[in-house]
Structure 1
Amino acid sequence: MVQRQFPRPLEILDLMKFKKPELPGKKRRLAQALTIYDLRDIAKRRTPKAAFDYTDGAAEGELSLSRARQAFEDVEFSPRILRPAADVDTSTTFLGGPSALPLAIAPTGFTRLMQTEGETAGASAAGAAGIPFTLSTLGTTSIEGVKAANPDGRNWFQLYVMRDREISYELTRRAAAAGFDTLHFTVDTPVAGARLRDKRNGFSIPPQLTLGTVINAIPRPWWWFDFLTTPKLEFASLSSTGGTVGELLDAAMDPTISFADLDVIRELWPGKIVIKGVQNVEDARKLADLGVEGIVLSNHGGRQLDRAPIPFHLLPEVVREVGKDLEIGVDTGIMNGADIVASVALGAKFTMIGRAYLYGLMAGGRAGVDRTLQILTTELVRTMKLLGASTIAELEPAHVTQLQRLIPRARG
């Protein structure tokens, strides 16, 4: 028989410790976010639909994005037992410089639209975390502004080859003069992808007020207050080139871009050059023969060609073919530190995040970006410990099995 007694209040109080409330709403909100998807939920609540969908959406049926994320979820890890990993060192070196993580923040356009701190928040957070930050040609903070926000960190510049080539050449010179160490020559945007969410939302830069946007803004007054009381939203590095936003967007996409353009940019750029947007082994092999320093396997976050190849699936074969000749990065679909671990184990020297960073930005500005990097770092370290890997160099292909859902049919 169980002996019972009347509850004693003092004993109950000893077992219960009430957590002190955290009064600042932002701090509490971000602390409660345990995953990147939690940050996404906060961002969706706090950001007008058109701006959120511009970030969250992809091209056409959004199959490229969903497949890329699914590919990371379809990973089976193979841990090594009895290998002490009490202390994990996540630091590494890629593209000629150190990084605290095998991770960089990817280039994103219109970033101040999502939250007014924009690239300044991203660059300063990257600098504090000891990882590179990449500024887009279509960024809303200037090259010089990013350098000021991250004066001692690694800054990269992503280049679109504009129809007016001299604009691209001048941007290349400015980034070099500002001390950016790596240029990402982007090759997957000959024309703009069909981003249907934007069309359905009537999305425009700058946002135009309609009855729908006003109704959507009512529960989000803080976003509109920030938007209306901060400097004009514009392509900061292109603000002196003339033309409307639409004209600049059209000029940024050029179907005549070729290897000849790469030759010109290589003559202008004194640092490392990475080709961003590689989507097959043959192109990777040709670029290795040309002597570029690196490539990024990417389908532009699923925002260009829908049903494009899945970068993470391409990774093992590309590493086998050219991994000894150039450094390979991968982006699209990374939402967890375990995704970073899997990529590095299969041979990637670095990974890049775009949406994950922007979800944090929309959720809480600079503090939200810091939270994104904290979450990913925690997940990365925990995964490495569970695998029995103490350093990045100890991660190897045997740690990862890519489970297959989409198996190509034999060509007849």
Structure 2
Amino acid sequence: MEFETKAIHAGQDPEPAYGAVSVPIYQTSTYAQESVGKHKGYDYARTGNPTRTALETAMAALEEGFGGLCFASGMAAESTFFYLLSPGDHVIVADDVYGGTYRLVNRVLREAMGIEFDTVDLTDLEALKKALREETRLVWVETPTNPLLKIIDIGAVADLAHEAGAWCAVDNTFASPYLQQPLKLGADAVIHSATKYLGGHSDVVGGAIVTAQAEMHERLAFLQNAVGGVPGPLDCFLVLRGLKTLALRMEAHCRNAQRLATFLSAHPRVRKTYYPGLPDHPGHDIAKRQMRGFGGMVSFETETEQEALDVCGKTKLFFLAESLGGVESLIEHPGRMTHASVAGSPLEVPAALVRLSVGIEHPDDLLEDLAQALG
């Protein structure tokens, strides 16, 4: 079955009682039991909900994994995944990772759980080899990275992680399962902020984990229930709604981003453009090999921080806002917004960096808006 068909049908058969074609929103916290201990598959909504089950089934199908688990946010998914670790375990994270991930590892896991970590340029396999050690349990990958859009060779990193006895987990938020399927490339788990491209309409917050093997899935399912960071049924319904059009939207995001990146790369007020679809991007060939398209995220640098701030304040169609992956285009200044938490750290982003989440509006209108903002 092809991706577009799975997105509409996996886990989403017509509702048996009345034949509803759309998965119902089972808005309940508990379930009546036929007798003590005898229920119809669900006993309490933190443990399970039919709307959530539909979404988890769909996510597993789209990532071609063993099983899917859904959470109240991307960070809830990440936090639950890190509960697989023990004090003294060592983690390697990319040196260009989402600021919230770095904050979680550096300010929570390190201080409260005794987890050790190093940041490594995962595009440099020799650097990864040197960073791996006996205590390394996990290599955490983002590709494309946020916000510098580095491309990491998932298969090569997974092989090195496995040789060292570690897991390889991939945050696939920027690509979505339509553009990239890390489990097929050797990763052990895939993590998503479902808030972004999966939901796709900037109206829901959620997260997901899909695993390659049963053992990890079963342990995470226990943690999902024990830790309790689960989504509500309306949230799950909204993400399911988004999945149905994911393939169509990602094609439009990619087309628009390619046009804007090409425009920016030739603009005299732009010092550097980051987009893996540009032939001179260092990861272009790897992206062509492991992705279906190059994604909807574009970053660029102006000459000064003030120029970057001015551009962010002058756009009309690009809304100045955090987050990404919705149908509408967004612009932000990572250094002062999404990545403010890594200021002063090895992950600090360039002060003149601007990040675009390119929506699915007509590209001519988006180009005109950027052109007037750049002046």
Larger radius of gyration: 1
TM over 0.5: no
Higher relative contact order (CA 8 A, sep 6+): 1
Higher helix share: 1
